[in-house]
Amino acid sequence: MNCQEVIKFRSVVKRVSRMVRSAAVLLVAAASLTAAVPGDAQASSGAAVPPKQPWSFLGVFGQFDQAALKRGAQVAVQSCLTCHSIKYIKFDQLRQLGFSELEVKAMAEGTGRTKKDPLTSSMDPTAAKESFGVVPPDLSLITKARKGYEDYVYGILVGYASDSDLALANRVMADGKIGAEEAKEVASALLLDGHYPDKMAETLKRMIGGENFNRYFPGNFFAMPQPLMDGAVAYTDGTENSKVQLARDVVTFLAWAAEPTQMERKSLGIKVILYLVVLTIMLYAVKRRIWAKVH
Amino acid sequence: MSKIMEWVDARLPVTELLKSQATEYPTPKNLNYWWNFGSLALLVLIIMIATGLFLAMHYKADANQSFDVVEHIMRDVNYGWLLRYAHANGASFFFMVVYVHILRGMYYGSYRQPREILWWFGIIIFFMMMGTAFMGYVLPWGQMSYWGAAVITNLMSAIPVIGEDLVVWIWGGFSVGDPTLNRFFALHFLLPLVIFGVVILHLWALHAVHSNNPDGIDLHDAKDSIPFHPYYTIKDFYGYGIFMIIFCIFVFYAPNFFLEPDNYIPANPMQTPAHIVPEWYFLPFYAILRSIDFLGSFSKLAGVLAMVGAIMILFVLPFLDRSPVRSFRYRPLSKQLFWIFVVDCIVLGWVGYNPADATIFNGALPLIIIGRTCTAIYFGYFFLLWAITALDIEKHQPVPKSI
């Protein structure tokens, strides 16, 4: 490097360090602000945040588990479609998941439809409203339409009160009030806020009364009874059909249904970005060459 | 070839234009990378108009169909998902780029004499961008589209006497509905073309007075400037490369990062979402709007005036700043005020993101207090910038004579 270059280099270093310093100040300011907020400032609704699940299809190189997709489609058609629609998917599209035309035809006819029909519920919306108080939402976009995305939908499917949860509720509420130790136990088992025993007692009463309790639903109670039980759907590929497995598979399917083009998007993305990186490196080289004359 | 150019030039002086506006157009040689953001904004505008045009070929503005049509574009139209994701993320990147562009202008005093008209055209573009983005966000007709439109259009009712009638006129009915959606689509298609026109005026004003530079001094010496082409064309293209990489990472791998999950729920006039939140680029202004809540029945009008005033005050910035020096590089006090202003805008955005009744430190500090303080600081910036320069409080550092 000649003298001028050294001077220029130093001034660049100085400028960069100044920029880094001001960026650091901004970051610290932002971080101290977020640190001041206990959890999410919106967490007042009281529902627990569903834990993250290791979905194979997320991330830059993530791919769908094809077997899980097929099983999930089976769960969706045999279980979810009883009340919900998945109207942006047609039966015929399920062939993209590896079903044969005959299989698709059989699935469609099993619910009284043809393969050209969308996956709509056989339940009449008015009847649904009468029995549940709400029309069950369409599930086509459900994994994109809720905070927490796939993890939330999975959390809802497995977050209902189990028999042991109910036994706990009955035991705790036997004397009509909740002690400090009991509050802790209930809080950790049902993911409730242990600071408000009165509110907790109210929740347990409703739970014992047979309302649909769910750990992960904001407000804990909603119209949908537990949709998936152990063994609810008979798998043909030998996979264990536990509730948890059914939930995992159907969420995988719903994530596909929410955006069937997502794998095309990701594979195109790699090519586009690699191209841009090479192009940008070349542009930078040309830029340096042209600017070498300027002092 | 030269024969053809001679023929054209005799009728339309293309060569002369390229020469005076590009190959010989003098540009300061010391522009840093913050000066890339103007041309970046033009790139995003072109991306938005191009993707928007193709989206419009498939879109239908209809309260009963729009939500489904957007999903049709996502699923059935060839590369429709790419068009929509590029367009939706493009809006966010447009604002990011333009915010940096505006802040660069504020830091280096690019609004100062003789660049006032250039600056004003910029604010007009910014203002129209906000309107365009707001109306575009309504078009997918999801829950946030609908309720965002309801909340924002309702602000007009704060205008005395005519407010209520004005809102009904804007809606084309007694609530946000099909007529609202249709007129928003028409305006959303029109406004970007108007923006494009004002961008040409912005460039005309720029080329009349030439670029400012990090030292904020006028160019006297020929040695201070270099021709725009090839020096800044290649630098801008390099910037385009970096920008496109970051943009594509979002479009292809985090396309819903800037979108609210609620907007994948079809609009439902009967069900208000738990928490209506505007797009991130409106949040600081939304926070200013909500921070005026202590004036009783005048709060709404005052909030709207404060929100509009937060942008309008930029128009008088050239007259508020009385320093003999343009660039904050040589103005220690102004520089500190500027960074406080930047942090203040970020905090305002965070306040705007949270519900109006949210608190921190276990309820000890309501966010509304922070919102009010930050609103005061926002306007305080403009007052103090005037005060320290008009009253000669700031002692500037020595400014170089030439680049």
Q: Answer whether residue A41 shows pLDDT above 70.
A: no
Tens digit of pLDDT for each residue in A82-98? Answer: 999 999 999 999 999 99
CB B209 within 8 A of CB B200: no
Over residues A277-286, the mean pLDDT reads: 98
What is residue A38's predicted lDDT score, i.e. its pLDDT?
A: 41
Contact: A269, B252; criterion CB under 8 Å: yes
Q: How far is B260 from chain A (nearest CA, A)?
A: 8
pLDDT band of residue B49 (cuts 50, 70, 90) is very high
B149: closest CA among B164, B162, B133, B127? B133
Which residue of A26, A259, A294 is in closest CB contact with B343?
A: A26
Contact: B230, A290; criterion CB under 8 Å: yes
Residue A277 touches partner B, C-beta closer than 8 Å:
yes
Three-state DSSP class for residue B230: helix
Three-state DSSP class for residue A261: coil
Active-site residue, selected from the candidate residues B87, B101, B224, B236:
B236
What is residue B297's predicted lDDT score, i.e. its pLDDT?
A: 87
Three-state DSSP class for residue B365: strand
What is residue A20's predicted lDDT score, i.e. its pLDDT?
A: 55
Q: How far is A204 from chain B (nearest CA, A)?
A: 24
Q: Answer whether residue A1 shows pLDDT above 80.
A: no
Over residues B109-121, the mean pLDDT reads: 97
Look up B211 and say whether it is catalytic: yes
Domains delineated in chain B: 30-276 (1.20.810.10), 280-403 (no CATH)
Q: Please, what is the average pLDDT of chain B?
A: 96
What is residue B78's predicted lDDT score, i.e. its pLDDT?
A: 97
Contact: A265, B81; criterion CB under 8 Å: yes
Taking CA–CA distances from B29, the nearest residue in chain A reads: A294
Look up B207 and say whether it is catalytic: yes
Which residue of A26, A137, A266 is in closest CB contact with B253?
A: A266
Q: Answer whether residue A292 shows pLDDT above 50.
A: yes
The pTM score is 0.91
Q: How far is A117 from chain B (nearest CA, A)?
A: 16
Tens digit of pLDDT for each residue in B327-378? Answer: 999 999 999 999 999 999 999 999 999 998 999 988 899 999 999 999 999 9
Give the pairing type, strands A118-119 and A86-90.
antiparallel
The span from the CA of A155 to the CA of A190, in Å, is 13
Residue from A21, A33, A150 to probe the interface with B (highest B Cβ count within 10 Å): A33
Tens digit of pLDDT for each residue in A147-193? Answer: 999 999 999 999 999 999 999 999 999 888 888 888 999 999 999 98
Q: How far is B162 from chain A (nearest CA, A)?
A: 36
pLDDT band of residue A286 (cuts 50, 70, 90) is very high
Over residues A183-212, the mean pLDDT reads: 91
Token readout for A184 is: 């802790």
Contact: A260, B82; criterion CB under 8 Å: no
Label each residue of A62-104 as H, E or C.
Answer: CCCCHHHHHHHHHHHHHCHHHCCCEEEEEHHHHHHHCCCHHHH
Q: Answer whether residue B311 shows pLDDT above 60.
A: yes
pLDDT band of residue A40 (cuts 50, 70, 90) is very low
Look up B220 and say whether it is catalytic: no
Helix axes B178-209, B116-138, angle to 10 degrees: 160
Q: Answer whether residue A221 shows pLDDT above 80.
A: yes
Over residues B4-22, the mean pLDDT reads: 95
What is residue A3's predicted lDDT score, i.e. its pLDDT?
A: 54
Contact: B358, A41; criterion CB under 8 Å: yes
Taking CA–CA distances from A29, the nearest residue in chain B reads: B343
Tens digit of pLDDT for each residue in B194-251? Answer: 999 999 999 999 999 999 999 999 988 788 999 999 999 999 999 999 999 999 999 9
Look up B235 and say whether it is catalytic: yes
Which residue of A149, A272, A283 is in closest CB contact with B238?
A: A283
For A38, A150, B337, the CA distances from A42, given in Å and listed in that order, are 10, 20, 32
> For chain A, where are the alpha helices, taking DSSP H only?
3-36, 66-78, 101-110, 125-132, 149-158, 163-173, 180-190, 197-208, 243-258, 262-291
